[in-house]
A and B are shown apart, each in its own frame.
Chain A
Amino acid sequence: MCGLGGILNRYGERMSGREIIRMSCMMRDRYDGRGGGFAGYGIYPRYAEYYALHLFFRDELAKERTEELLKDRVAIIKDERIPMRRVKEIPQENIVWRYFVEVPHRFSNRREYLEKEEDYITELVFTINDCIDGAFVASSGKNMGVFKATGMPDAVAEMYRVEKYRAYCWITHGRFPTNTPGWWGGAHPFNLLDWSVVHNGEISSYGTNKRYLEAHGYKCRLLTDTEVVAYLFDLLVRKQGLSLRSAAIALTPPFWKQIERMPEPKRSAFTALRMTYSQAMLNGPFAVIITNRDTMVGLNDRIKLRPLIAASSDDCVYLASEEAAIREVEENINRLWAPRAGNPVIARLDEEVREEVIH
């Protein structure tokens, strides 16, 4: 059991971390204190054009070795210790640092520059996580960051001073781990570039998904199943150009019986998506919230074995494991509903939130 929460301000107006912390606290029963975290989008407006790398180091040596690698691969615009308070519940195991970096211009004279640049950063992240003992990249997107640790979410928020950041989109997660040991890197949100994921449940198809991703150059080494969700969105949406809706069709496709009843040309499209992405399909009980710089998506497994509630007010869209978490922070709810199994709820900046009916 875990608890998820997310808020997106449709107009891109930034809000302090207080509300997401309150949402998180409301679902305390769902956590056991072995992992909590937050991700905020819009928190670094002064450095918005740079990749913000949040890093955990177990010791000075790991930090030195990482910095050597960073200096070799990217230009560091600024780096600093992430300001933190001491909290007694969480032992200070790691050195936590952030780097604002850009990719040197010698890589920029190609056409598909942006995509290449993102692949370049992805590669860098995998190299650090994979090759440098005791170093871990918690997040690598622009104008965003992940704050997570082993502990209750409220303690984690207190430690990172989450309430002092302002973001137009926040997500949170509290953990009750049953499958993998609790460590800082194993807490949610998981992140790669702009993609962040919080997840409740289990991806029973992990082995299949992992091998599919590995064949596409991703390295799944985090000892947990959630990372595949982030990588699958990155692969399907960023690299292969699927829309969020089509990616959801690939990840939680309707049953064949439903597809057979569809009219053409819809049936062919759904059939092709399911055939082609059969190994990307997510199976097992789960609810996830996936975010990137302008979008927040909520998604359940195909038979809805984990809770997920959606709501909207005039300004904001909410997703949470429990209705109470949303009611805690929003009095003027226009609409509140339980999305159907396998249907993605897509909330984007400047758009009306919608549940895509694919099932």
Chain B
Amino acid sequence: MVRNFPPEFVVRVDREACINCLRCVRECPFGVHEYDREKKTWKRHHEKCVACLRCAYMCPTQAISIERSPMEYAPHPVWTNRVRKDIKTQAETGAVILTAMGNELPYPSYFDRLVLDACQVTNPSIDPLREPMELRTYIGRKPEKVELEEEDSSIRLRTKIAPNLKLETPIMFAHMSYGSISIEAHLSMARAAKEVGTYMGTGEGGMHVELYPYADHIITQVASGRFAVHEEYLKRGAAIEIKIGQGAKPGIGGHLPGKKVTEEISQTRMIPEGSDAISPAPHHDIYSIEDLSRLIYALKEATRYKKPVFVKIAAVHNVAPIAVGIIRAGADAVVLDGFRAGTGAAPQVHRDHHGIPIEAAIASVDRRLREEGIRHWGSIIASGGIRSSADVAKAIALGADAVYIGTAALIALGCTVCKKCYTGRCAWGIATQDPELRKRLDPEEGARRAANLLRAWSHELKEILGALGLNSIESLRSNRDRLRGVGLTEPELRVLGVKPAGE
């Protein structure tokens, strides 16, 4: 049968400019460029191109350009090109379609339909270059009230305060495991987190020894595979996160193929070299909220109640009562991962069709925790599809305490969102363990860029606060009065707790 499968991209090479240096052949991890040394002829395998753009940027004469293939099936509004390609792929392989990064279907974005307020006349805006502007955020349990001993001018605290993470900016690097991404990528984020005064997550792959110097700015993860989980590991990090689910693939587990389990990864994950690393869908010791509570307290006991324990869930339909249960079960923060969250590998059907938007999840969890009078028991960390400082501001105004960024952080490190992380052949040295490819990411340069991104967003957040006439991020938290909806329906506005523009 003819394989009638148009390629997505075409690689165009300017023959006049090309000097036959063969750089593109070495640079492309997917084998797009092929040169026959005997016949001195070129062949470009367009169907293998993923538009990572590596070759185009490495070509010394800028001879290469990557374009979207003009060849497509006849247009049809329902049987789109993508639908037809997916069916053909599955007819060919008989398998689940694997993909990476976040949800690709054109669901509307609530962030893009929420606008922020600004000051005019009656309440002066504040210039962050002239006035102090505060972004510090504490993540963890707060007491209901503070008791003090006071005498004349002296003041002494009597309430015991639970351990909290101190963030100098309400943005952290999301959990992405060593194994799914390279140690260079991990090091870049760890250094940036420490430098800026925030935190990064290890993901479920454990903490490589090279990260130990940054451990006080690292959140360790306990996931269903329980890789690397031992007392030292838990005590080394600043906080512990139990991962129940993730937004990119709610309800399913993970799988790191044995061929990616190199010696270093095997040591860090504490599994035999070359063995598949399987994270089951559920934790095999958590089948109810009581079980979760026992794990939370087991981890707290193991760390002498010195580390906050977070619980991460995918934002699903019933997210509010689940999050309330998690906080009541003893978690110091609940991490909500929205349906746009990225991943290194997920079945396309899960990535694109499960879960709910993070904006709705934040709003309903914040509301429910308040209704139950336990909002101060735990913080809300939002993640999944946060693209800019404006998204951060809107997430906080809806009720989040802080956010995690994953995809945005990788983009800062050079990722072009080619969605091929699961192949382990990342052309930019991020989602790969190949020693040659890894060299492409210099952790020092990576750290500088990741830190710059945090600084730039923090700076913009300060400007946003200034325009709102606020000089501290806590006055934006849950301040939905400073948001308005544009083009949202009544029920959507009700869920988000915001008024329509003009009202």
- A265 interfacial contact with B, CB 8 Å: yes
In the complex, A240 Cα to B144 Cα: how many Å?
Answer: 9
**B164 near A201: Cβ-Cβ < 8 Å:** no
A206 to chain B: which residues have CB within 8 Å?
479, 481
Select which of B132, B145, B148, B478 is within 8 A of A207 by beta carbon: B478
In the complex, A202 Cα to B376 Cα: how many Å?
Answer: 26
**A278 near B474: Cβ-Cβ < 8 Å:** yes
**B476 near A202: Cβ-Cβ < 8 Å:** no
A134 to chain B: which residues have CB within 8 Å?
none
Please provide the chain B residues from 181 to 234 with a CB less than 8 Å away from any CB of chain A in the complex.
Answer: none
- A352 interfacial contact with B, CB 8 Å: no
Please provide the chain B residues from 458 to 484 with a CB less than 8 Å away from any CB of chain A in the complex.
Answer: 468-472, 474-482
Please provide the chain A residues from 303 to 356 with a CB less than 8 Å away from any CB of chain B in the complex.
Answer: 303, 305
- B134 interfacial contact with A, CB 8 Å: yes
A257 to chain B: which residues have CB within 8 Å?
132
Please provide the chain B residues from 139 to 192 with a CB less than 8 Å away from any CB of chain A in the complex.
Answer: 142-148, 150, 154-157, 159, 161, 164
A211-B370 in contact given A245-B150, A279-B474 (Cβ < 8 Å): yes
Select which of A204, A246, A302 is within 8 A of B468 by beta carbon: A204
- B131 interfacial contact with A, CB 8 Å: yes
Residue of A nearest to B140 (CB): A275
**A216 near B145: Cβ-Cβ < 8 Å:** no
In the complex, A210 Cα to B497 Cα: how many Å?
Answer: 13
Select which of B164, B373, B471 is within 8 A of A216 by beta carbon: B373
Interface size on B, residues (CB 8 A): 46
Interface size on A, residues (CB 8 A): 44
- B109 interfacial contact with A, CB 8 Å: no
**B480 near A284: Cβ-Cβ < 8 Å:** no
Select which of B154, B376, B472, B478 is within 8 A of A283 by beta carbon: B472
In the complex, A17 Cα to B329 Cα: how many Å?
Answer: 57
- A109 interfacial contact with B, CB 8 Å: no
A284-B470 in contact given A242-B146, A269-B148 (Cβ < 8 Å): yes
**A256 near B136: Cβ-Cβ < 8 Å:** yes
**A279 near B477: Cβ-Cβ < 8 Å:** yes
**A205 near B479: Cβ-Cβ < 8 Å:** yes
Q: Which of B97-105, B117-125, B300-308, B310-318 is the contact stretch?
A: B117-125
- A165 interfacial contact with B, CB 8 Å: no
Select which of A207, A281, A285 is within 8 A of B469 by beta carbon: A285
Select which of B134, B142, B481 is within 8 A of A276 by beta carbon: B142
0/1 string, A111-142, CB within 8 A of B gives 1: 00000000000000000000000000000000
B122 to chain A: which residues have CB within 8 Å?
178-179, 202
**A241 near B145: Cβ-Cβ < 8 Å:** yes
**B123 near A201: Cβ-Cβ < 8 Å:** yes
A302 to chain B: which residues have CB within 8 Å?
471
B477 to chain A: which residues have CB within 8 Å?
208, 278-279
A270 to chain B: which residues have CB within 8 Å?
155
**B471 near A265: Cβ-Cβ < 8 Å:** no
Select which of B134, B397, B478 is within 8 A of A255 by beta carbon: B134
In the complex, A214 Cα to B397 Cα: how many Å?
Answer: 16
Residue of B nearest to A246 (CB): B148
Residue of A nearest to B465 (CB): A283
A208-B474 in contact given A201-B123, A277-B146 (Cβ < 8 Å): yes
**B470 near A255: Cβ-Cβ < 8 Å:** no
Please provide the chain A residues from 261 to 299 with a CB less than 8 Å away from any CB of chain B in the complex.
Answer: 265-266, 268-270, 272-273, 275-279, 281, 283-285
- B138 interfacial contact with A, CB 8 Å: yes
**B479 near A275: Cβ-Cβ < 8 Å:** no
Q: How far is the CB of B152 from chain A (nearest CB, A)?
A: 10
In the complex, A284 Cα to B470 Cα: how many Å?
Answer: 6
Residue of A nearest to B155 (CB): A269
A256 to chain B: which residues have CB within 8 Å?
134, 136
Residue of B nearest to A255 (CB): B132
**B146 near A276: Cβ-Cβ < 8 Å:** yes
In the complex, A254 Cα to B305 Cα: how many Å?
Answer: 29
In the complex, A205 Cα to B126 Cα: how many Å?
Answer: 14
**A214 near B376: Cβ-Cβ < 8 Å:** no
Select which of A208, A265, A272, A277 is within 8 A of B479 by beta carbon: A208
**B478 near A265: Cβ-Cβ < 8 Å:** no
A215-B146 in contact given A255-B134, A275-B138, A279-B474 (Cβ < 8 Å): no
Residue of A nearest to B473 (CB): A278
A210 to chain B: which residues have CB within 8 Å?
481
A266-B155 in contact given A275-B138, A303-B131 (Cβ < 8 Å): yes
**B470 near A204: Cβ-Cβ < 8 Å:** yes
In the complex, A276 Cα to B123 Cα: how many Å?
Answer: 26
**B469 near A284: Cβ-Cβ < 8 Å:** yes
A281-B472 in contact given A178-B121, A202-B122, A269-B156 (Cβ < 8 Å): yes
A207 to chain B: which residues have CB within 8 Å?
397, 478-482
Q: How far is the CB of A22 from chain B (nearest CB, A)?
A: 28
**A211 near B471: Cβ-Cβ < 8 Å:** no
In the complex, A250 Cα to B476 Cα: how many Å?
Answer: 16
Residue of B nearest to A204 (CB): B469
In the complex, A222 Cα to B134 Cα: how many Å?
Answer: 30
B481 to chain A: which residues have CB within 8 Å?
206-207, 210
Residue of A nearest to B480 (CB): A207
In the complex, A257 Cα to B131 Cα: how many Å?
Answer: 13
B124 to chain A: which residues have CB within 8 Å?
285, 305
Q: How far is the CB of B401 from chain A (nearest CB, A)?
A: 9
Select which of A178, A240, A246, A272 is within 8 A of B150 by beta carbon: A246
0/1 string, B371-404, CB within 8 A of A gives 1: 1010110000000000000000000010000000
A214-B370 in contact given A276-B145, A285-B469 (Cβ < 8 Å): yes
Q: How far is the CB of B475 from chain A (nearest CB, A)?
A: 4
- A243 interfacial contact with B, CB 8 Å: yes
**B480 near A265: Cβ-Cβ < 8 Å:** no
In the complex, A183 Cα to B152 Cα: how many Å?
Answer: 43
**B475 near A281: Cβ-Cβ < 8 Å:** yes
Residue of B nearest to A280 (CB): B474
A265-B156 in contact given A208-B479, A256-B134, A276-B376 (Cβ < 8 Å): yes
**B147 near A208: Cβ-Cβ < 8 Å:** no
0/1 string, B87-125, CB within 8 A of A gives 1: 000000000000000000000000000000001011110
A279 to chain B: which residues have CB within 8 Å?
474, 477-478
A303-B161 in contact given A205-B479, A216-B373, A279-B474 (Cβ < 8 Å): no
**A272 near B375: Cβ-Cβ < 8 Å:** no
B119 to chain A: which residues have CB within 8 Å?
204
Q: Name A's B-contacting residues (CB within 8 A).
A: 178-179, 201-202, 204-208, 210-212, 214-216, 240-243, 245-246, 250, 255-257, 265-266, 268-270, 272-273, 275-279, 281, 283-285, 302-303, 305
What 16 new A-B contacts, CB under 8 Å, besides A204-B475, A208-B475, A216-B373?
Answer: A204-B470, A207-B397, A207-B479, A212-B478, A215-B375, A240-B144, A240-B145, A240-B146, A246-B146, A269-B157, A270-B155, A272-B161, A275-B164, A276-B376, A279-B477, A283-B475
A-B contact pairs, 17 of them (CB 8 A): A205-B470, A205-B475, A207-B482, A215-B375, A243-B150, A255-B132, A265-B155, A269-B148, A273-B146, A273-B148, A276-B143, A281-B474, A281-B475, A285-B124, A302-B471, A303-B131, A303-B132
The 6 closest A-B pairs by CB, nearest first: A207-B481, A205-B475, A283-B475, A207-B479, A278-B474, A215-B370
